[in-house]
Amino acid sequence: MLIFYNKYKKWVYTLVAITLMYLLILFLKIDLGLLFSDVHYVTDLLNEMFPPNFKILWENNVVYISILQTIAMAYLGTLMGGIIAFVFSLIASNNIFNYKYFAVSAKWLLSFIRVLPSLIIVLIFVVAVGPGSFAGVLTIIISTIGTLGKLFTESLENLDPTSANSLKSIGANKIQIFKHAIWPEFLPSFISNLLYCFDINMRTAVGLGIFGGGGIGYKLYLAMRVLHYKDAIALIICIIILLLIIENFSNYLRHKILSK
Amino acid sequence: MIKAVGLTKQLKNGKFLLNNISFEVVKGEFVGILGASGAGKTLTLKSLIGLLELTSGEVWVEETSNQHINIYQTKTSILKKLRSKIALIFQGYHLVQRATTLENVLMGRLGSVSTWRTLFFGFNENEKKEALIALERVNMQSFATARVNALSGGEKQRVAIARALFQQPRLLLADEPISNLDPKNAKIIMALLKELSNFFPVIGVFHQPELCAKYCTRIIAIKEGKLYYDGEPNLDEKTLEDIYGEELSSILT
Amino acid sequence: MIKKAFPIFFLLLTIMVTYYAMILTDFKLNTLKKGLHDSYFFIEQMFPPSWEDFKDLWNPALETVALALLGTFLGTILSLIIAFFGASNLTNKWVKQIVRSLISVERSIPELFILLILIAAYGLGALSAVLALMIGCIGMLGKLFADAIEETPVSVIESLKAAGASKVQIIYFGILPDLFPKLISYSLFRFEINIRLSVLLGAIGAGGIGYELDYAFSMLQFHRALSCLIVVLVLVIAIEQISLYIRKKLSISQL
């Protein structure tokens, strides 16, 4: 019987869940009372944040350059990361190059890259090239290689082998098979995944701002650090609108590609 | 007893989806509603429960022997009670797949029991026993603890009927209940429905005029939103052709 | 002729945009080449990890997991409730549209900033972190859940409605049981993300391994920092494997 219907199981599970939560709260030493007693800090904060100071958006060019910077970070990261990921995925997928040894090691490498938290990667790059958007771009490139590497490998391995096989039987060489059978079928998912990754990378680019990544994320962090809440809210609203536009744009293009 | 009076639904562009449909069905009748696709059969059926917004029209049900209620003019609380006594089965996919057969049957009485009681205490032993009896009626009691997604189409429909029975309904409505079934199971379901019509009126929408001719006691045909035919189940070819128009060749097996 | 020129035009455009982007972000390969030496040297300095420190990293690691666990759990419940209001088969058009837009907006706010705002209100600590993770779930889980709810076959809802069931009953008996496997699967996926976030938020002061890592770096205790990094890696890999395993078992057994 499903938990939902059995009287006893339902209550037992609920009780266990509540107990678990309570234990976690105790372990973390969270003072629930603060939620209510300190609410006035939240309202105070909200008061300080409104009305938002939209003037900084055009006061000097700084903000609008940082928006372009953030977009540039995501763009370069996706482009370069995508190309490298594509090469990796060709090696890593079972059906393209057929060097099993390399395929397996490439897959492991991709997994390893994906596991590295971006925090660590950005630290390494900040040490290497200094804080700023360059470090951000490099970080995004690496994380893109991880994500797109996996996605591309999956779509390459899921391709329908019939057209490739028929070309092979006619005697076409690897390059021709690739150009005429594999590439056209792969193209839609390739572009779709790129767009998807671009969307994610935009959010990462904003988030990395705190860790010296640069772009508008950094401006926002600065504003909060110096308690210029009105500026911060204006920047947040700006970020929200920017990300919403990119998300909708990306979804729209992906829909069009999928339906073609 | 259920009586539809002047059911009409008109779209903004003037087209009539339903045009002044009236009929009355009593206990002992197994009515088959036939018609071409889009003629208005399912809409008519849905109106009988008030699931469709009408431009005008009334649906009367017998509350007690002297009191009649119009479904389209009752309060929500009374409507809920009325609906709990009217059973509706569909073509398919209306059972909760991951729940067991017995659990699905028990859901039939959700309308007659208070929300909070069902949420907190589920159903009691008595109700479970009655649910098993409903399953026995359709010969599915051995599947009581099996999950619905493991059953075949015919078995699922039988469980749906068991759920309808568990409601202890005063009326059973069926929307293309056999369209997804193979001929053998279709006949089993039709025979079952006919048997049930001895206890309460059964009204079903069908695409299979030959099965209706065999099992139904009465046929109502809807053409372009209007009531076209209401009477004996044995239709001759001419009438069938008029009802279905060009679709006829694809309907006749 | 225009058709033939299009790909070339597109290529030129891409090159120009890329070049401009590289200028904007100070992309200089030379800097990278020189810098990599520094990075390598830096990483070399961190080896070997300080083995004695591992034993007092155990507690912070548990804290990080606890934060992610609590945040995901509460976040799932919150997102589910919100998702009900964002599903077209449960509410009217206006409510659904507003709720879905709010969910999208939340998705656009990086969790770090939610935390910063919460810190400004509630101070540093676990409470702010849990709340930040919880609210952060809404963007992803809210959308996934709402989409899944909308996938419930219409006839299930209609047949229960026709039998007289109230909306709450329809949700509990008709929608939730079939939704359950997806619920668990999506929550586990979010849990993986929340572990990483928990580390990140920790670095800003929420506690746990992230905090230890940040502290070690700022105190220039690089060996300890490497130990922290190793713990983070192990944690993330372990959680990912567990999550993958559970999700695989879920899709095979219960269907």
Domain ranges of chain A: 7-49, 56-259
Q: Does C149 touch chain B (CB under 8 A)?
A: no
Question: Quick check: helix, strand or coil at residue A207?
Answer: helix
Q: How many CB atoms lie within 10 A of CB B81?
A: 16
Give the number of domains in chain C.
1
CA distance B143 to B154: 13
Of B101, B215, B194, B207, which Cα lies nearest the Cα of B152? B101
B110 vs C178: CB contact, 8 Å cut-off?
no
Which three-class secondary structure state does DSSP give residue C90?
coil
Nearest CA to CA, how far is A87 from chain C (Å)? Answer: 19
Tell me if chain C has a CB within 8 Å of the CB of B84.
yes
- Residues 47-76, chain B: which have Cβ within 8 Å of C? 49, 51
| Other Cβ atoms within 10 Å of A153 Cβ, number | 23
Residue C200, C-beta contacts closer than 8 angstroms, at least 6 positions apart: A117, A119, C111, C112, C210
CA distance A170 to A172: 6
**pLDDT tens-digit map of C61-87:** 999 999 999 999 999 999 999 999 999
Q: Please indicate whether, in this complex, the C-beta atoms of C181 and B98 are within 8 angstroms of each other.
A: yes
Chain C touched by B157 (CB under 8 Å): no
Q: How many CB pairs under 8 A join A and B?
A: 17
Please check whether residue B90 lies inside any domain of the structure: no
Q: Look at residue C154 and tell me if it is in a domain.
A: yes
Average pLDDT, chain C: 87
Report which of residues C53 and C95 the model is more confident about.
Answer: C95
Q: Which of B103, B121, B123 sits opposite A2 (nearest CB)?
A: B103
The set of residues, in sequence order, having a beta carbon less than 8 Å from that of B8 and lying 6+ positions away, is B16, B18, B19, B20, B21, B54, B55, B56, B57
In a domain, C22, yes or no: no
Confidence check: pLDDT of B243 > 90: no
Beta strands B30-35 and B56-62: pairing type?
Answer: unpaired
Mark which residues 141-180 of A lie under 8 Å from C by CB: none
Q: Are residues B131 and B200 in the same domain?
A: no
User: Measured between alpha carbons, how far is A260 from B3 in angstroms, rounded to an integer?
Assistant: 51
* B164-191 mean pLDDT: 87
For residue C102, the model assigns a pLDDT of 92
Query: Is the residue at C44 inside a domain?
Result: no
Q: How many domains does chain B have?
A: 2
CATH of the domain at C109: 1.10.3720.10
- Residue C3 resides in a domain: no
Q: Say yes or no for a CB contact (<8 Å) between C156 and B93.
A: yes
C84 occurs within a structural domain: yes
Residue A149, CA atoms < 13 Å, CB-side half-sphere:
26
Q: Do A75 and C18 touch (CB under 8 A)?
A: yes
Q: Which of C14, C27, C130 sits opposite A137 (nearest CB)?
A: C27
Say if residues C62 and C118 touch (Cβ distance below 8 Å).
no
C161 interfaces chain B, CB cutoff of 8 Å: yes
In three-state secondary structure terms, A158 is coil
- Asked if B116 is an interface residue toward chain A (Cβ–Cβ < 8 A), one would say no
**Distance between CA atoms of residues A165 and A161, nearest Å:** 6
- Is A56-259 a domain of CATH 1.10.3720.10? yes
d(CA B43, CA B59): 13
Out of A209-223, B69-83, B153-167, the most confident range is B153-167
In a domain, C18, yes or no: no
Q: Which of A79-88, A188-197, B30-39, C173-182 has the lowest mean pLDDT?
A: B30-39
Residues of A in contact with C165 (CB under 8 A): none
Closest chain B residue by Cα to residue A3 = B99
Euclidean distance between CA atoms A227 and C120, whole angstroms: 9
- With beta carbons less than 8 A apart as the criterion, state whether C222 and C45 touch: yes
Contact of C61 with C231, CB cutoff 8 Å: yes
C109 is a domain residue: yes
Q: Band of the pLDDT at B58, cuts 50, 70, 90?
A: confident
Token pair belonging to B197: 């019509």
Kindly state whether residue B244 falls inside one of the protein's structural domains. Answer: yes
Q: In DSSP terms, which residues pair with B61 in a beta bridge? A: B2, B69
User: What integer pLDDT is reported at residue B240 of this predicted model?
Assistant: 75
CB C173 to CB B96 under 8 A?
yes
Q: Are residues B151 and B43 part of one domain? A: no
Quick one: what percent of chain C has pLDDT higher than 90?
29
Amino acid at B112: S
Answer yes or no: do B145 and A1 touch at CB < 8 A: yes
- Sorted by sequence, the CB contacts under 8 Å of residue A131 that are 6+ apart come out as A212, A213, A214
Domain boundary among B168, B189, B214: B168
Cα separation, C219 vs A158, whole angstroms = 49
Closest CA to C86 of C76, C77, C96, C94: C96
pLDDT at A222: 83
Q: What is the mean pLDDT of residues B200-215?
A: 88
Q: Phi and psi (nearest 5°) for B9?
A: -135, 120
CA distance B183 to chain A (A): 33
Q: Does the beta carbon of B98 lie under 8 angstroms from any beta carbon of chain A?
A: yes
Would you call C113 and A220 a contact, using CB atoms and an 8 Å cutoff?
A: yes
Quote the domain boundaries for residue B128: 95-168
A238 sits in which H/E element: helix A229-259
Question: What distance in Å separates the CA atoms of residue B31 and residue B44, rounded to the nearest whole number?
Answer: 13
The residue of A32, A110, A118, A129 whose CB has the most chain C CBs within 10 angstroms, and thus the best one to mutate to test that interface, is A129
Residue B49 sits in the same domain as residue B106: no
- State residue A77's pLDDT score: 92
Residue C27 lies in a domain: no
**Domain end call among B104, B135, B168:** B168
Are the Cβ atoms of C70 and A25 closer than 8 angstroms? yes
On the question of pLDDT at C255 being above 60, the answer is no
* Helix/strand/coil for C215: helix
Please answer yes or no on whether A5 and B122 come within 8 Å at the CB atom.
yes
For an interface test with A, the pick among B97, B101, B103, B109 (most A C-beta atoms closer than 10 Å) comes out as: B103
Burial of residue B53, with CB atoms counted within 10 A of its CB: 0-12 exposed, 13-18 middle, 19 or more buried: exposed
Stated length of chain B: 253
Q: Does C165 touch chain B (CB under 8 A)?
A: yes
> C-chain residues within 8 Å CB-CB of B119?
168-169, 172
Whichever domain contains B47, its CATH number is 3.40.50.300
Handedness of CA B106, B108, B109, B114 (dihedral sign): positive
> Which residues on chain A are in Cβ contact (under 8 Å) with C121?
38, 41-42, 44-45
For residue range A112-162, what is the model confidence (pLDDT) as tens digits?
888 888 878 888 888 888 888 888 899 999 999 999 998 888 888 888 777
pLDDT at C133: 93
The pTM of the full predicted model, rounded to 2 decimals, is: 0.85
Compute the distance between CA of residue B250 and CA of residue A11 in angstroms, rounded to an integer.
Answer: 54
B29-to-A78, B64, B193, B195, B233 alpha-carbon distances in Å: 68, 19, 10, 10, 11
Instruction: Find, among C247, C205, C190, C243, the residue nearest to C63 by Cα.
Output: C205
Query: Are residues B107 and B176 both part of a single domain?
Result: no
Partner-chain contact B103 A10, CB within 8 Å: no
Contacts of C166 in chain B (CB under 8 A): 80, 110, 115
pLDDT at site A1: 45
Rounded to a whole number, what is the distance in angstroms from the first to the last CA of chain A?
Answer: 45
For residue C195, the enclosing domain spans 51-253
Between CA B94 and CA B109 the distance in angstroms is: 15
Counting as contact any 3 or more CB pairs under 8 A, the partners of A are B, C
Beta-carbon contacts of A189 under 8 Å, excluding residues fewer than 6 positions away, are A151, A155
Report, as an integer, the average pLDDT of C91-108. Answer: 90
For the stretch A219-223, contacts whose Cβ atoms lie closer than 8 Å and that sit 24 or more positions apart, written own/partner, are: A219/A62, A219/A63, A219/A66, A220/C113, A221/C116
Can you give the pLDDT of all 260 residues of chain A as single tens digits? 455 667 777 888 889 999 999 998 888 888 777 777 777 787 887 788 778 777 777 777 778 888 888 999 999 999 999 999 998 888 888 777 777 788 888 888 888 888 888 878 888 888 888 888 888 899 999 999 999 998 888 888 888 777 777 877 887 777 777 777 788 888 888 888 999 999 989 988 888 887 766 788 888 888 888 888 888 888 888 888 888 999 888 888 888 887 77
Q: Quick check: ipTM above 0.85?
A: no
Confidence of residue C195 (pLDDT cuts 50, 70, 90): very high
Do residues B80 and B175 share a domain?
Answer: yes
